[in-house]
Structure 1
Amino acid sequence: MDNNTSIEISTPTGLIAALPGLIGFVPEDSEIFVVLKGEEIVFSARHDFTTAPDVAAHIAAVARSYDATGVLLIAVTDDLAEATHWLDEAGQTAKHNGLRVLRTLHTPSCEVGAQWTDVESGQTGLTEDFRESAVTAARAVTGRAVSTRRDQIQAMFALAEPVDLDTAHTGSPTRFLDIARQVYTLITSNTAPSADLAAQVGRAIIDYTGIRDALIVVGSNAPLPAAQLFATIAAGLRGTVRAEVLTLVAVFSVLGGSGAQANVAIDQAQACATNTPALLDLIEQAIAAGMSPELLRQAIIDPLHKHTYDILGGDYMI
């Protein structure tokens, strides 16, 4: 966990209660992998049961790159036959790739009172309230709430009345710097943007995509408030420019430790543009590879710092 928090998950009941905190929302109809190195959780991954069958092989390959030693497999579905089949197939794939399969669990739900089954041992038990899990509590301490459903996250990306990009002021020589300073102020004060700022941001990105990269740096120290701000800005945008702004949301979501939110941002961006930004594709690959927020910051954010002043023409924090 973040901040070097040590949390012990020693029982199937505790593991299932921890899942919403690990992935960011309460999973349904899901294949879940919790990958470990010794007793430490390296990463967790969730996929729909409709996902292509090579997902387990991909997860195992990523796990090897982290020198992982074991995996916990959890099937969340009402369909016991489907769960048993997937747990067997995924377990065989994990073993073939040198991973110990430590648990194979099935539960119809992560909500309190559902009966879970350890498919390997036949042991059963009842699920407990995920809200009382130490993992959920640790997530809350870092400002990352657990959504009750994935569609609760999707609501963050609802469309609003389109803004008129032609109303944006383009003549000022300090235009990009003015936008960056407004964005920084709103992020640090956790204030919603105006339609005028949404138009300014959209037009600026159309005119010069380098401003998007500068805005990544502007929001990088408060990634979750930045993600919310740019999701609100994206609500009034359409097409390619909406995809560009949703790329910012994806970046900030990953930096803030919300992979589930990042995945929804990616889905939304791909749905509104035929050709998605190259950075969005990079973020999608980073998530699939289990890249940590720290590594993403080193790979993307740090190199941008030295160019931000030149792009904006001044210090955005003034």
Structure 2
Amino acid sequence: MTTSHTPDFELDRPGTVIAAVPAVLGFVPEMSLVLVTVDRGELGCVLRIDLAEDMTDQIAHLAEVAAAARPDGAVAVIVDEHGAGCHPCNDDYRDVAEQLADELDYRGIELLGAHVVDRVAAGGHWHCADGCGRGGVIEDPSSSPLALAAVLDGRRLYTGRAELQAVIAVDPTRSAALAEVIAACEGPEMSDADACAAITEARVAAAHVADGGTLADELAARLGRALRDVRVRDTLFALAVGEDADRAEALWVSLARILPAAYRVEALVLLAFSAYARGDGPLAGVSLEAALRIDGSHRMAGMLDQALQSGLRPERIRELAVTGYRLADQLGVRLPPQRIRRRRAG
């Protein structure tokens, strides 16, 4: 789920709305039902689910999540490569739209429109899901106001969900090897001094990875073990808002790819928090999804996922980093100062 303010945006032009979806969603959707919420005439949150034969439960959940932000209305976009000119499919599209409209209406949200598009790209074709006869061509998504805003904000736009998931794809060979290294170096619980040393080592490793270096097995194993210590992990959350944020995120990506599952989950949660804090909801989402697959009861992963699903804005989630700075003070660890964020004009 992602959110955006939409200055200079026309919600009554389906081609414009559809073209804006990749910039807000963070990637180009395929075979998807996308729900764009509208609040006081502006684009609100954007949610996506996969198309399937039976979408009853998925649509009900989609409407429930959308209702958490209390929008005035919503626009549905069905992305189906077979959508353009597929007359036999229209009944299916109409059924999906009607089911979604009922679920939204039950929660006090009006479905303002439902459109079918074959591809979210320049030249893609859309038409009304209810067979109203309207249709048109998609504007270039890369030229939409929201795409330009995303570039200015430093957010990455992914070509598809597969590219997004590839960011955290596991290296099974390396992961298996590290499982043996970690098992061989298991030891007693960390002291405060050990925790301080681990935090410092993580920062040094982050700089090394960001400069193109790789992690030796012994170092990766030590870091993996250290992240399971709550003091270490919660202190490292602060790096997401500090001047070393980019370096830290590079380390979390690297560890998420190579650590065995029980240790990988902590790297995924740190990556999710880092991505969420800088406004990359899609990367935060896939990271949390992977973390919760490993440990469905993980408290921090669950909390962040709930915040993301409910549309809590990045500036609010960044407040959690204060805990990391407080823990650092208690441990006597010096962290980089917080990065100053300046609001762009307009």
TM-score > 0.5, shorter chain as reference: yes
After TM superposition, give the deviation of residue 17 of structure 1 in Å: 0.9
Matched, 1:109 2:131: no
Match of 2:238 in 1: 217
Match of 2:74 in 1: 71
- Counterpart selection for 2:161 from 147, 150, 166: 150
- Counterpart selection for 1:306 from 318, 326, 339: 326
Match of 1:195 in 2: 215
Matched, 1:284 2:305: yes
Q: Give the 5 Å matches for 1:111-260.
A: 111-120=121-130, 121-160=132-171, 161-162=174-175, 163=178, 164-165=181-182, 166=184, 174-184=193-203, 186=206, 190-192=210-212, 194-196=214-216, 197-206=219-228, 208-221=229-242, 226-260=248-282
1:36 and 1:68 in contact (8 A); partners too: yes
Please give the alpha-carbon distance, in whole angstroms, between the structure 2 residues aligned to 1:146 and 1:68: 25
Q: Deviations over 1:85-113 (max 9, x none)?
A: 21121122222322222221110211222
Matched, 1:263 2:285: yes
3-state SS of paired residue (2:223): helix
Please give the alpha-carbon distance, in whole angstroms, between the structure 2 residues aligned to 1:126 and 1:143: 28
Please give the alpha-carbon distance, in whole angstroms, between the structure 1 residues aligned to 2:287 and 2:210: 20
Match of 2:86 in 1: none
Q: Deviations over 1:97-135 (max 9, x none)?
A: 222222211102112222101235321111232122221
Matched, 1:31 2:33: yes
With normalisation by structure 2, the TM-score equals 0.79
After TM superposition, give the deviation of residue 203 of structure 1 in Å: 1.9
The unaligned stretches of length 5 or more in structure 1 are none
1:76 and 1:83 in contact (8 A); partners too: no
With normalisation by structure 1, the TM-score equals 0.85
Q: 1:65 to 1:167 in 2, by over 3 A?
A: closer
Counterpart of 2:77, as a letter, is: I
Please give the alpha-carbon distance, in whole angstroms, between the structure 2 residues aligned to 1:223 and 1:103: 40
Please give the alpha-carbon distance, in whole angstroms, between the structure 2 residues aligned to 1:2 and 1:101: 18
Please give the alpha-carbon distance, in whole angstroms, between the structure 2 residues aligned to 1:188 and 1:244: 20
Q: 1:282 to 1:134 in 2, by over 3 A?
A: same
After TM superposition, give the deviation of residue 64 of structure 1 in Å: 4.2
3-state SS of paired residue (2:155): coil
After TM superposition, give the deviation of residue 175 of structure 1 in Å: 4.0
- Counterpart selection for 2:49 from 37, 47, 56: 47
Among all aligned residue pairs of Structure 1 and Structure 2, give the percentage whose two residues are the same amino acid: 23
Q: Deviations over 1:188-224 (max 9, x none)?
A: 9943564144333112124x23211111112234656
After TM superposition, give the deviation of residue 46 of structure 1 in Å: 0.8
Please give the alpha-carbon distance, in whole angstroms, between the structure 2 residues aligned to 1:110 and 1:155: 21
After TM superposition, give the deviation of residue 4 of structure 1 in Å: 6.8
Please give the alpha-carbon distance, in whole angstroms, between the structure 2 residues aligned to 1:248 and 1:40: 32
3-state SS of paired residue (2:36): strand
After TM superposition, give the deviation of residue 152 of structure 1 in Å: 0.5
1:192 and 1:229 in contact (8 A); partners too: no
After TM superposition, give the deviation of residue 246 of structure 1 in Å: 0.8
Q: 1:97 to 1:225 in 2, by over 3 A?
A: farther
CA RMSD of aligned residues (A): 3.1
3-state SS of paired residue (1:34): strand
Q: Deviations over 1:160-204 (max 9, x none)?
A: 323433569999974433443454463699435641443331121
Please give the alpha-carbon distance, in whole angstroms, between the structure 2 residues aligned to 1:151 and 1:246: 17
Please give the alpha-carbon distance, in whole angstroms, between the structure 2 residues aligned to 1:127 and 1:3: 20
3-state SS of paired residue (1:26): coil
Counterpart of 1:309, as a letter, is: D
Please give the alpha-carbon distance, in whole angstroms, between the structure 2 residues aligned to 1:55 and 1:224: 35
Counterpart of 2:211, as a letter, is: T
How many residues matched?
314
3-state SS of paired residue (1:157): coil
Q: 1:180 to 1:83 in 2, by over 3 A?
A: farther
Match of 1:293 in 2: 314
Counterpart of 2:143, as a letter, is: E
The unaligned stretches of length 5 or more in structure 2 are 84-88, 338-346
1:184 and 1:317 in contact (8 A); partners too: no
